[in-house]
């Protein structure tokens, strides 16, 4: 199934698949061979019937009273997500958030290998962060083509996000994963995923505000 054919109602399932994979890899490392939908449901905090529906999307079927083969399930989820191999990616914006992603050692295990990073800060250009070389943003179009990079991860200030996105599109990038609160316009042929940290913080803060006063701390007097 190509990314273009994924239906909106399937996206919650796709977002849960990495969580299943993490549980399954832990079980496999512990020597387990089979897992039940009830166990996965308990670990995920959801209903078992939802687990079965989620896993149907990968084409795997369980065996009654036995469960799912863990190796088969891991392989099917990795195949569905395209995580059996790795896609070379670049990072644009090697600030604090970008550097944190460069330090994320698990990314190759989830199908992404960052092979180059770009920034406009002269103090960063020519250095390496967690083993990844930082290049001037002016070299981005040339290096994307030379390194055959298909995916760009963008961690730049909101005011620069659209300009960087436009440059990536013009440079032939196929997919963009961007961390920004800005509204971004992309052509329909670009695979695009936006992560808005402020939206997540807003939800958390609103819930915290409405949860009542903090009764866990006591003032001194």
Q: What is the average pLDDT score of the chain? A: 88
**Please, are residues 35 and 24 in contact by the beta-carbon 8 Å criterion?**
yes
User: In which band, very low, low, confident or very high, does the pLDDT at 214 lie, cut at 50, 70 and 90?
Assistant: low
pLDDT of 218 reads 46
Q: Does the pLDDT at position 220 exceed 50?
A: no
Cα-to-chain-centroid distance, residue 66: 32
List the structure tokens of 29. 């490392």
pLDDT of 144 reads 93
Domains and CATH numbers, the chain: 3-81 (1.10.10.10), 87-202 (3.40.50.720)
How much is the pTM? 0.77
> What crossing angle do the helices spanning 158-170 and 140-147 adopt, rounded to 10°?
50
Residues in the chain: 221
Distance from C-alpha of 55 to C-alpha of 57, rounded to nearest angstrom:
5
pLDDT tens-place string over residues 155-208: 999 999 999 999 999 999 999 999 999 999 999 999 999 998 888 888 888 888
pLDDT tens-place string over residues 16-42: 999 999 999 999 999 999 999 999 999
């Amino acid at each position: 199934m190509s990314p273009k054919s994924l239906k909106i109602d399937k996206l919650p399932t796709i977002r849960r698949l990495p969580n299943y994979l993490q549980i399954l890899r832990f079980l496999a490392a512990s020597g387990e061979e089979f897992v039940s939908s009830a166990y996965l449901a308990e670990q995920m905090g959801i209903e078992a019937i939802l687990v079965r529906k989620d896993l149907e999307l990968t084409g795997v079927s369980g065996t009654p009273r036995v469960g799912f083969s863990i190796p088969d399930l891991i392989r099917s989820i990795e195949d569905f997500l395209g995580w059996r191999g790795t896609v070379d990616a670049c990072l644009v914006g090697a600030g604090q958030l970008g550097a944190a992603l460069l330090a994320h050692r698990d990314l190759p295990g989830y199908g992404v290998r960052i092979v180059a990073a770009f920034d406009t800060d002269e103090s960063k250009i020519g250095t390496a962060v967690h083993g990844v070389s930082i290049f001037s943003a002016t070299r981005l179009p040339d290096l994307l083509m030379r390194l055959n990079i298909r995916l760009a991860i963008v961690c730049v200030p909101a005011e620069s996000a659209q300009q960087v996105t436009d440059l990536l599109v013009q440079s032939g990038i196929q997919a963009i994963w961007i961390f920004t609160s800005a509204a971004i316009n992309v052509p329909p042929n670009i695979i695009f995923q936006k992560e808005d940290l402020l939206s997540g913080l807003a939800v958390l803060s609103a819930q915290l505000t409405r949860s009542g006063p903090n009764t866990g701390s006591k003032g001194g007097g």
